[in-house]
Amino acid sequence: MSTTNDNLFVNASAEKAVLGAAMLDADAAKHIARLPADIMRDAATALVFDIIKALQTAGQHVDVVTVSAELDKRQIEAQPLAVDMSYLIDCTRGVPAPSIYTEYIPILEECRKRRTLYELGTQLRDQISNGAREPDEVRQWAARAIKESAQSDNAALIPLSDALVRTYAQIEEDHTKDEETGDDGRIYSGITSLDEKLGGLKGGLYVAIGARPGVGKSALALRYCAQAATNKRRALLVSLEMDEIQITQRLLADFSGVPLKAITGDPLDDDANLRLGNTMLGLSAAGLWYSTTANTVEKIAEAAYQLYEKGGLDLIAIDYLQLMDATYSKKNGRQEQISEISRGLRKLAAELKIPILVLTQLNRESVKAFKDENGKPVRREPSMSDARESGSIEQDANIFILLHQPTKDEMPSDHAKKIYEKVTNERGMRVLKILIEKNRQGKCGRLDVAFDGDHMRFYPLNGKTEEKEEE
């Protein structure tokens, strides 16, 4: 690299400040330790960064004293760098406040990207100069290299010893509730029967919700987001079908009790206006953000990390998968594009360690009627294989939920048919079947709910209409 442009490739001051923040603040240390290993270029900062990552992985406290002790151990036999306790203290002195590291990380990421591109350029020049390589072959190599660079996550070898430490920490976290709030760290829908079956959504899960248009999958995604946002969590709802006003109208219908049709156009009386005003005031501090333009995995990741850097993020919901665009498979068929998107979202859930809900349209075959043994037309229940344009979604998802709106004749018993009539005729709601067809963290099964479309609310029917649970 040219020495005249070293400031574009390495920013030693920013590297030291980020390390200083890690040694001053435990939360900063957790986040900084998850940065890629090659983000530090300076030899001294790279050594300190490696020590911080090792301490964090081992569950040990990170500060100047612990880093210095580990530093001394490493430099006993190795050729020592100019790194000692005074160097570490100098790192911390360059930090105005621990939270400032969030402004320095983009600087380091830009330097890292420039280094990667510079190295790719050098390799490309060597490929071009190789007379044995055809130009088209070199062009294909360059396209693959740039794609892999954009994805940029190298496979890591994880020893069992590290996995055991992390697994124990995860088990402890999964069984520990916040002493003040009782929060167990999972995301719930507020639909008791569904939450009991799923046990809440843990971080890193990729969850698919499939249904035909108009059945209620958008409402279920909004319910998850609203429950998170009003319970001191932060959620991002990516909607490529509705704008922020349409989404918020549905949110207000749920929390205020004012019917959606009144909010969207019917006359509002004084009581409804008062309830809407109070609800808006109550929701104003909720941690919910919308994006109506993030139509690729990369744009969703950018929005997610923006929120992550400004206070954290606990849930992403995407409405819906088939409206997204692929980045690398644009010239391929739509099935390959959807597969790329689905894999990218699953990877993002794992990176952010938060659940990602993705809605997916089901094809028309999922509700196609056929004749039973008596010649009576009936419909089958939908399955994961009905996900439109891709079979990879059912493979990628940790949990796959299907929503189905049955007819009265499809209810399994006379008693269930009576419940159906009461829900639909007396209460003006719809009966929906929630089918948990895949669940890598627990049991599969089914449950019925009443869906109040006027208020975007789901009510469990408490096992009164369900068929026998499936293992």
365-387 pLDDT, tens digit per residue, is: 766 666 666 767 677 788 888 87
pLDDT at 274 over 70: yes
Question: CA-to-CA distance for 194 and 451, rounded, in angstroms?
Answer: 13
Q: What is the mean pLDDT of the chain?
A: 82
- Position 128 scores a pLDDT of 85
**Which of the four pLDDT bands, split at 50, 70 and 90, describes residue 153?**
very low
**Which of the four pLDDT bands, split at 50, 70 and 90, describes residue 114?**
confident
Q: Which residue has the tokens 């697994």?
A: 167
**Which of the four pLDDT bands, split at 50, 70 and 90, describes residue 412?**
confident
pLDDT at 11 over 50: yes
Which span out of 146-155, 176-185, 275-284 was modeled with the highest average pLDDT?
275-284
In this prediction, what percent of the chain has a pLDDT beyond 90?
14
Containing H/E element for 458?
Answer: strand 457-460
pLDDT at 317 over 50: yes
CB-count burial class (<10 Å; 0-12, 13-18, 19+) for 111: buried
Three-state SS string over the chain comes to CCHHHHHHHCCHHHHHHHHHHHHHCHHHHHHHHCCCHHHCCCHHHHHHHHHHHHHHHCCCCCCHHHHHHHHHHHCCCCCCCCCCHHHHHHHHHCCCCHHHHHHHHHHHHHHHHHHHHHHHHHHHHHHHHCCCCCHHHHHHHHHHHHHHHHHCCCCCCCCHHHHHHHHHHHHHHHCCCCCCCCCCCCECCCCHHHHHHHCCECCCCEEEEEECCCCCHHHHHHHHHHHHHCCCCEEEEEECCCCHHHHHHHHHHHHHCCCHHHHCCCCCCHHHHHHHHHHHHHHCCCEEEEECCCCCHHHHHHHHHHHHHCCCCCEEEEECHHHCCCCCCCCCCHHHHHHHHHHHHHHHHHHHCCCEEEEEEECHHHHCEEECCCCCEEECCCCHHHECCCCHHHHHCCEEEEEECCCHHHCCCHHHHHHHHHHHHHCCCEEEEEEEEEECCCCCEEEEEEEECCCCEEEECCCCCCCCCCC
In contact, 222 and 288? CB cutoff 8 Å: no
Distances (CA, A) of 101 to 57, 71, 106: 20, 22, 9
61-96 pLDDT, tens digit per residue, is: 899 999 998 888 877 655 566 688 888 998 898 788
Residues in Cβ contact with 54 at an 8 Å cutoff, skipping those fewer than 6 apart? 70
pLDDT at 315 over 90: yes
Containing H/E element for 128?
Answer: helix 101-129
Which span out of 47-56, 260-269, 331-340, 409-418 was modeled with the highest average pLDDT?
47-56
What does the block give as tokens for 151? 């994805």
pLDDT at 321 over 70: yes
pLDDT at 158 over 60: yes
In contact, 345 and 318? CB cutoff 8 Å: yes
pTM of the model: 0.62
- Position 467 scores a pLDDT of 47
- Position 469 scores a pLDDT of 42
Q: Which of 149-158, 188-197, 294-303 is the least confident region?
A: 149-158
Mean pLDDT over 202-206 rounds to 90
Question: CA-to-CA distance for 189 and 224, rounded, in angstroms?
Answer: 5
**Which of the four pLDDT bands, split at 50, 70 and 90, describes residue 205?**
very high
259-270 pLDDT, tens digit per residue, is: 888 888 877 888
13-67 pLDDT, tens digit per residue, is: 888 999 999 999 888 888 888 888 788 888 888 889 989 988 887 778 899 999 9
Closest CA to 385 of 365, 410, 357, 405: 365
In contact, 362 and 371? CB cutoff 8 Å: no
94-112 pLDDT, tens digit per residue, is: 788 878 888 888 888 888 8
Q: Which of 128-132, 351-355, 415-419 is the least confident region?
A: 128-132
| Residue bearing the bigger pLDDT, 163 or 251 | 251
Mean pLDDT over 276-301 rounds to 88
- Position 466 scores a pLDDT of 52
Question: CA-to-CA distance for 46 and 39, rounded, in angstroms?
Answer: 8
In this prediction, what percent of the chain has a pLDDT beyond 70?
82
- Position 470 scores a pLDDT of 42
pLDDT at 140 over 80: no
